[in-house]
Structure 1
Amino acid sequence: MLALAFAGSGVLAQDAKPNVLAPVVVTAERRAENIKDVPVSVSTIGGETLDVLNSGGEDIRFLSGRVPSLNIESSFGRAFPRFYIRGYGNTDFRLNASQPVSLIVDDVVQENPILKGFPIFDTDKVEVLAGPQGTLFGRNTPAGVVKFDSVAPSQKAGGYFNGGIGSFNSVNLEGAYTVPLNAQWSTRVSAQVQHRGDWVKNTFAAGPTQDLEGYDDSALRGQLLYQPSRDFSALLNLHARDLSGSARLFRANIIKKGSNDLVDGFDPKQISIDGKNEQRVNTSGTSLRLKWQLDGLALHSITGYETVRSFSRGDIDGGYGAAFAPPSGPGTIPFPSETADAMRGHGQFTQEFRVESTAAGPLKWQGGVYLFHEDYHIDSSSYDSLGGGAQTGLTTTRQKNDAWALFGSVNYELSPVLKLRGGLRYTHDKKDLATDPDPSLDASNGLSTNTSDSKVSWDLSGTYALTPEANVYARIATGFRGSSIQPASPFGAMSSAGPESTTSYEVGVKADVFDRRARVAFSLFHYDVRDQQLTAVGGTSNLTRLLNAKKSMGQGIEGTVEAYLADNLLVTLNGSYNLTKIKDPGLAVGVCAACTVLDPVNSSGQALIDGNPLPNAPRWIGNVTVRYGVPAANGGEYFVFTDWSYRSSVNFFLYESKEFTGRSLLTGGLRVGYSWANGKYEAALFGRNITNQIRVTGGIDFNNLTGFINEPRTWGAQFKAMF
């Protein structure tokens, strides 16, 4: 009767009774377990909810706010998402930026921020693991992990097609099919094609780019499984992405002075710029996962290779002309700024060997070694918008990053109701960066440097079963992120930030209640970050530099409730409260040229940021989904699905100001449809951001009150077939 329904906080599947929640299986500890037994905050998204969120053609940012404490934003549009878990993330927009939230796709880390934008399609589920996850996962996980698992080939032929059309001439097509080749071999091919027409018009007639915000984004994945017996399997994965379209649109002077409101008469469908806007991303990769099942042991080998080429060019000042070269606007344009960043020659290689115990008994363990190598070139260009877009500068930087780690964990069942876990990891991380000499560069700190960091991370947790349906847990964990380097530019000297380390404390409860008609999970947490890497951007001198805060902290509460309120009415609620603070009395950063600064300012005109919240860290995140189905004849069902996501205001930068504080954002979706033939076919109408709430979601602070906005309202129709 009730078709597959997945909640934002956990996967709900049809059971023998339609009003009973099926167990949620996750791999947060690198082995399949019931989510209730994992002693850490874990959220999952899958199935129908992914279909609903993806229906409007949004990129990976559609996951933002869909589970507790998760925020995602980007100043590159579809190409460069930045993740924050419990308020802990990184605003660095450079192509060699590292992030404390790791994205892992099919067991392979996607380290470069451009790789993190790979589309979500034919995905079994998404797991969001609160950090630190510094023991079992490979790279930069002090804030947590976002983990994707693709649907794998099997010996059962079948697949699906999902197609939709919508506003702005958008077309979204997705499909997959599994073919068993014989008793030992099977393959699965999946693909996604997304198109949106340009919907923003450039009112500056002489601008080189007149129509904007459209894109063509396609991705392909092929998998080949060889499994001659239960004792061995080999899974080969090939994948690629091709994106072309608009870079992020920066809009000059759209924030009302003295507030965080949009200016009167703001029209999201218009912009006035004299610079060129374009974006291209090409990624490809492969992985090979091998598994041997021996007597009491399982051996795992995971080999991955990823490469990316990208080019993104935009008008950073967000307007046309300049105060000294009229005409200019909208508003004051102190000076023109048009730049581009390109990634070329990129390659990432990873290798993991892991041994896992599989014998029965109270003791379970696993351990292994992890290797990482990345090498790439970055080209940063500048252009003269007033001189026909001629290139005026080019800076080329090469970075190499090598790391290795040894890790292990032990699980021990002290009694049928008390289980303990502990883990240990040693990591060594080395970076080398060099920029080609150029007279325009600020070489006061040199043009090359290297870092070398080592750290031991650990975690200890325990789970106690109050009843067979309810567990309480406690966890202490540490995390680590290696040093970061920012190359020299014409606007500032090379800078670096030393390694950061994290210690987290968490307690929680997870339970199935009311005869599995409902599921609840709640957690309390506190974390401290020592020497947190921060990025100070903009200011009156147009500088971008890395720095370390002596300490920062975060604490809060998270909760999830999902329940059948009636046999055909499924409701999920989840939310979080996160209080974050920078704790460094002497730390000061440059401030905006045209905004109202709220922090105390030192004698050098810099803002003292002690006590400020971390950037892009909303205190409140809430999400609700409601699905109601009405059974019909011959295995049919009419259904309504609505989802609403809320995040409270955020601070865009390290300093606080009235203008660059993003207002709270509430977005809602609606899906109405009919499925038939026991869920084999489905047709639906949908809307995303149905209230058309427009908010400034980020800014450029060195020039004027320039910002960028969220995605517009979209309507559409969708058809899905299973075969």
Structure 2
Amino acid sequence: MRKTLLMMTASLAAMAAPAFAQAVPAEVEAASPEDAEQAGGIGVIVVTAQRRAQNVQDVPIAIAAIGGEGLQEAGVRDPRDLTLLVPSLSMQAGTAATTTSLFIRGVGIGDFNSNTTGAVGVYVDDVFLGANAGKLFNIFDSEGIEVLKGPQGTLYGRNTTAGAIRFSSRKPTNELTMNASLLYGRFDEVHLEAGVGGPIVKDVLKVRVAGLYNRRDGTTLNRVTGNHVNDIDIWAARGIVDFTPSASALLRLSVHGGANRGGARQFQHRGQGIDFFGNPAFLPDGTPLDGLGYADTDDDIYAGDYDIEGQERVDVFGASLTGEFNIGDLTLTSISAYEKVNRSTIEDTDTSPNDIINALYKDRPRQFSQELRLASGTGDRISWIVGGYYFHDKLTTASYYDLLRDLRDPTAPMNGFDPANSIGLLRYPYEQKTTSLAAFGQADIKLTDRLTATLGLRYSTDKIKFDFSSFFDEEGFIVPLVDINDSRRFKDLSWRAALAWQGDNILLYASASKGYNSGGFAGGAATDPLQLQPFGSEKLFAYEAGFKSDLFDRRLRFNASAFYYDYRDLQVFVFDTSATVPVQRKLNAGNARILGFEAEVTAKPVEPLELFVAASILDSEYKDFSGLAGSDFDGNKLVNAPSLALSAGATLTLPVGENGTVRAHVDTSYSSKIYLYPDNLPGNAVGEHAQLNARLAYKPDGKFEIALWGKNLTGTKYLTALFPVITQDQLNYNDPKTYGVQVSFSF
């Protein structure tokens, strides 16, 4: 594999000569008069990844940046869609419509439970979002998205090992602006997004209000009822008020809310080929059955037999107050934020017409965070940022599983309630409180006019209190199982050191950094205290070198990086299937290593045409991982770590008439085979797959636009998640082919 990796690295480097472009142009602006003179070239992308406005080509970090117009053109509506544009970003769908697990460069964890923060930090307007179910409501009226790859331990709120995704909403301006977009598509999808903003008192008080409504009929037929499930029904809104009492002060209040009233995920069914007595159970053609002899045999992943049509009820509210104050050459920033989510999901867990297992997931996370930063000016040889961060989260859950109801004997006492054989209502309520404190600092030191050293440190402490109980419950008859009240404190020192050399059109950089993700407690159903043993913190030591270049009067942009990850005590989420009821486990898997290479090539060979290609190559393996029941996973690939992932496409813009334009965009993505669990079993693998998306737009006057669009035009089908349950597996697949029309305007 390493020889193959080196050969592909050389091949991708040779691709710099042809004309290709970065995934979907990000929001741009001229950074200098020289840039303005090169207006025919690739635009300058401005990011704030290091808490300062910088040209992305001057930042010694691997970043994928996509602007607001680019998000609309690519049909990006939540973090899951970003995986089609950023090859190193992958996802694993959760058990609910509004949850997902994100991975960057093969680093992440596929735990869908409510108390999981994950290895990828998600930020909206610099506010970290902790609740899984609350991360998909804020991605509208967007200025752009930045995907920061690798540990971001020295500058970001909750330290994460994989990286960070930063969403920025559109802010109020001193001029009246308005934009709206109405999309209609297959399955009667309606997606309406609009925003309006402007001055209340010029230069003193500005406001912007934006909203989103998205509904879609179900894409999956329930053959039991004739209804279509996996429908969407979401709304969200945001209001931002900027108060500028003087030239040196800004206060920004942001309030947002939203709700999901759509369907819960309805999965596909796959029997495990075993009955409830441990005997083989197969159809004559070899199709595996579940414990009650059912199999879904039509090979249609958009149809199933469901006795329960699950529903999801999610309500989200949040507010933040940001203050920026200029004190001489210093800038003081304060961000106070509050977020709450109420979630209730009813799920047909067994994905069959039988009543083997169904679930209610109910949780209420509440979080408060406070960040303070003091930053120097950028004119001196040393520029620095220091700060502190406080985060408190309280999560209350009241979830349960209704187990094996079809096996109950209604003539027996308590209607056949039998906890000894896992027949009954298994409740597992718990409360978890997390308190995090951190102090951090980073300095850029100009060793020469072209050579800059970066040094950063962060000390973090996380205290987690966990109060868990589980019991079988039937009409008030209680059989207690587990009762745990425990707490743990985790501490760590993260750091970053980098050197960057800035030439006229090129940046060379090398860095070493350490990231940290705190330990904690598993949040799934448990019938044995051993399942709730705390797991430790994971640490990632990252070593990276790369370059960023703008060539041929900024007609060609070629960025590349190579990295090595020393991944220690990594956290993994697995299922122990040795018992009748699969048991969730979260534990430390020992060590792993990841060797990778990435390249992004962007070009504008002629004025109307932009082309792009981006590639990610990973060679990953567990180095020291003894799995459950003595199994040995050493040498296996990490989960959600494709050996090769690609994104590519083109945009052609042609004038029509005096002021009109026609814009044609097409993009495609590819991923090689990945594994969903550390065992690397063929049945737990996602085969290689590719998708094709396209958009054709006509803009007659620069303000109004009408477009035809299509996503997954080839109708590609692939797994996005797999979870074992009682004698069957639930399989989650991607959305089918969709297409439609979109009308937009702005002024």
Q: Same fold (TM over 0.5)?
A: yes
User: In structure 2, which of residues 719, 724, 728 is the aligned counterpart of residue 696 of structure 1?
Assistant: 719
Residue matched to 2:276: none
User: In structure 1, which of residues 455, 468, 478 is the aligned counterpart of residue 492 of structure 2?
Assistant: 455
Q: Counterparts of 1:36-55 in structure 2 under 5 Å?
A: 36-54=57-75
1:498-549 CA distances to partner (integer Å, 9 max, x unpaired)?
1111110000000101101121110000111211111112524211111112
Indicate how the Cα distance of structure 1 residues 431 and 714 shifts in structure 2: closer, same or farther if over 3 A, else same: same
Shift of 1:348: 0.3
1:242-271 CA distances to partner (integer Å, 9 max, x unpaired)?
111121222112899799xx9874223311
Residue matched to 1:619: 643
Shift of 1:65: 3.5
Question: In 2, distance between residues paired with 1:137 and 1:646?
Answer: 31
Question: In 1, distance between residues paired with 2:315 and 2:215?
Answer: 16
Q: Counterparts of 1:312-327 in structure 2 under 5 Å?
A: 312-321=345-354
Task: Indicate yes or no: 2:41 matched with 1:20.
Answer: yes
Shift of 1:7: 3.8
Indicate how the Cα distance of structure 1 residues 675 and 6 shifts in structure 2: closer, same or farther if over 3 A, else same: farther
Question: In 1, distance between residues paired with 2:231 and 2:508?
Answer: 48
Residue matched to 2:516: 480
Shift of 1:584: 1.3
Shift of 1:43: 0.8
1:114 partner SS: helix
Amino acid at match of 2:63: V
Task: Indicate yes or no: 2:736 matched with 1:712.
Answer: yes
1:149-197 CA distances to partner (integer Å, 9 max, x unpaired)?
1111111110211111010010011111112001200000011110101
1:240 partner SS: strand
Residue matched to 1:593: none
Shift of 1:651: 0.5
1:383-432 CA distances to partner (integer Å, 9 max, x unpaired)?
36548999823321000000101111111111111011110111010000
User: In structure 1, which of residues 672, 686, 698 is the aligned counterpart of residue 709 of structure 2?
Assistant: 686
Question: In 1, distance between residues paired with 2:125 and 2:624?
Answer: 39
Question: In 2, distance between residues paired with 1:9 and 1:450?
Answer: 47
Residue matched to 2:466: 433
User: In structure 1, which of residues 273, 279, 296 is the aligned counterpart of residue 312 of structure 2?
Assistant: 279
1:546-575 CA distances to partner (integer Å, 9 max, x unpaired)?
111221111100000111122101111111
Question: In 2, distance between residues paired with 1:487 and 1:167?
Answer: 37
Indicate how the Cα distance of structure 1 residues 525 and 125 shifts in structure 2: closer, same or farther if over 3 A, else same: same
User: In structure 1, which of residues 397, 408, 416 is the aligned counterpart of residue 441 of structure 2?
Assistant: 408
User: In structure 2, which of residues 232, 248, 251 is the aligned counterpart of residue 215 of structure 1?
Assistant: 232
Residue matched to 1:646: 670
Structure 2 unaligned blocks of 5 or more? 1-20, 31-35, 273-284, 289-294, 418-423
Residue matched to 1:588: 627
Amino acid at match of 2:609: L
* Contact kept in structure 2, 1:434 and 1:448, CA below 8 Å: yes
Indicate how the Cα distance of structure 1 residues 21 and 359 shifts in structure 2: closer, same or farther if over 3 A, else same: closer
Question: In 1, distance between residues paired with 2:296 and 2:710?
Answer: 27
Indicate how the Cα distance of structure 1 residues 364 and 95 shifts in structure 2: closer, same or farther if over 3 A, else same: same
Shift of 1:118: 2.3
Indicate how the Cα distance of structure 1 residues 118 and 553 shifts in structure 2: closer, same or farther if over 3 A, else same: farther
1:61-105 CA distances to partner (integer Å, 9 max, x unpaired)?
111141131112212343112110000001111111121110011
- Normalising by structure 2, we get a TM-score of 0.87
Identity %: 28
* Greater CA drift, 618-627 or 264-273: 264-273
Indicate how the Cα distance of structure 1 residues 637 and 684 shifts in structure 2: closer, same or farther if over 3 A, else same: same
* Contact kept in structure 2, 1:26 and 1:34, CA below 8 Å: yes
Q: Counterparts of 1:53-68 in structure 2 under 5 Å?
A: 53-54=74-75, 59-68=78-87
1:468-487 CA distances to partner (integer Å, 9 max, x unpaired)?
11010001000111112015
User: In structure 1, which of residues 95, 114, 137 is the aligned counterpart of residue 114 of structure 2?
Assistant: 95
Residue matched to 1:361: 380
Residue matched to 1:596: none
Indicate how the Cα distance of structure 1 residues 250 and 437 shifts in structure 2: closer, same or farther if over 3 A, else same: closer
Shift of 1:10: 4.7
Amino acid at match of 1:641: H
Question: In 2, distance between residues paired with 1:681 and 1:88?
Answer: 42
Residue matched to 2:51: 30
Residue matched to 1:191: 211
Amino acid at match of 2:627: A
* Contact kept in structure 1, 2:433 and 2:466, CA below 8 Å: yes
Shift of 1:659: 1.5
2:430 partner SS: strand
* Contact kept in structure 1, 2:264 and 2:347, CA below 8 Å: yes
* Contact kept in structure 2, 1:195 and 1:216, CA below 8 Å: yes
Q: CA RMSD in A?
A: 2.5
Residue matched to 2:570: 532
Question: In 2, distance between residues paired with 1:254 and 1:38?
Answer: 50
Structure 1 unaligned blocks of 5 or more? 323-335, 590-603
Question: In 2, distance between residues paired with 1:469 and 1:436?
Answer: 60
Residue matched to 2:140: 121
* Contact kept in structure 2, 1:301 and 1:354, CA below 8 Å: yes
Amino acid at match of 2:454: R
Question: In 2, distance between residues paired with 1:355 and 1:128?
Answer: 24
Question: In 2, distance between residues paired with 1:257 and 1:218?
Answer: 45
Task: Indicate yes or no: 2:340 matched with 1:300.
Answer: no
More helix by share: 2
* Contact kept in structure 1, 2:495 and 2:515, CA below 8 Å: yes
Shift of 1:444: 7.9
Task: Indicate yes or no: 2:706 matched with 1:673.
Answer: no
Question: In 2, distance between residues paired with 1:358 and 1:115?
Answer: 35
- Normalising by structure 1, we get a TM-score of 0.90
1:235 partner SS: strand
Amino acid at match of 1:473: Y
Shift of 1:23: 1.2
* Contact kept in structure 1, 2:469 and 2:482, CA below 8 Å: no
Question: In 1, distance between residues paired with 2:166 and 2:518?
Answer: 21
Question: In 2, distance between residues paired with 1:497 and 1:543?
Answer: 16
Question: In 1, distance between residues paired with 2:648 and 2:40?
Answer: 19
Residue matched to 2:421: none
2:154 partner SS: coil
* Contact kept in structure 2, 1:442 and 1:490, CA below 8 Å: no
Question: In 2, distance between residues paired with 1:692 and 1:681?
Answer: 30
Amino acid at match of 2:617: Y
Residue matched to 1:600: none
Indicate how the Cα distance of structure 1 residues 558 and 11 shifts in structure 2: closer, same or farther if over 3 A, else same: farther
Task: Indicate yes or no: 2:746 matched with 1:722.
Answer: yes
Residue matched to 1:500: 538
User: In structure 2, which of residues 194, 201, 222 is the aligned counterpart of residue 182 of structure 1?
Assistant: 201
Shift of 1:19: 3.1
Question: In 1, distance between residues paired with 2:148 and 2:719?
Answer: 28
Amino acid at match of 1:101: V
Question: In 2, distance between residues paired with 1:579 and 1:687?
Answer: 33
Q: Counterparts of 1:533-572 in structure 2 under 5 Å?
A: 533-541=571-579, 542-572=582-612
Indicate how the Cα distance of structure 1 residues 226 and 551 shifts in structure 2: closer, same or farther if over 3 A, else same: same
* Contact kept in structure 2, 1:297 and 1:358, CA below 8 Å: yes
* Contact kept in structure 2, 1:447 and 1:488, CA below 8 Å: no
Residue matched to 2:561: 523
* Greater CA drift, 6-15 or 699-708: 6-15
Amino acid at match of 1:495: Q
* Contact kept in structure 2, 1:6 and 1:13, CA below 8 Å: no
* Contact kept in structure 2, 1:199 and 1:211, CA below 8 Å: yes
* Contact kept in structure 2, 1:81 and 1:117, CA below 8 Å: no
Shift of 1:618: 1.5
Question: In 2, distance between residues paired with 1:488 and 1:366?
Answer: 39
Number of residue pairs matched?
680
Indicate how the Cα distance of structure 1 residues 672 and 17 shifts in structure 2: closer, same or farther if over 3 A, else same: farther
* Contact kept in structure 2, 1:8 and 1:43, CA below 8 Å: no
* Contact kept in structure 2, 1:9 and 1:67, CA below 8 Å: no
* Contact kept in structure 1, 2:206 and 2:243, CA below 8 Å: yes
Task: Indicate yes or no: 2:525 matched with 1:489.
Answer: yes
Shift of 1:451: 1.0
* Contact kept in structure 2, 1:18 and 1:568, CA below 8 Å: no
User: In structure 1, which of residues 323, 337, 340 is the aligned counterpart of residue 357 of structure 2?
Assistant: 337
Indicate how the Cα distance of structure 1 residues 258 and 460 shifts in structure 2: closer, same or farther if over 3 A, else same: farther
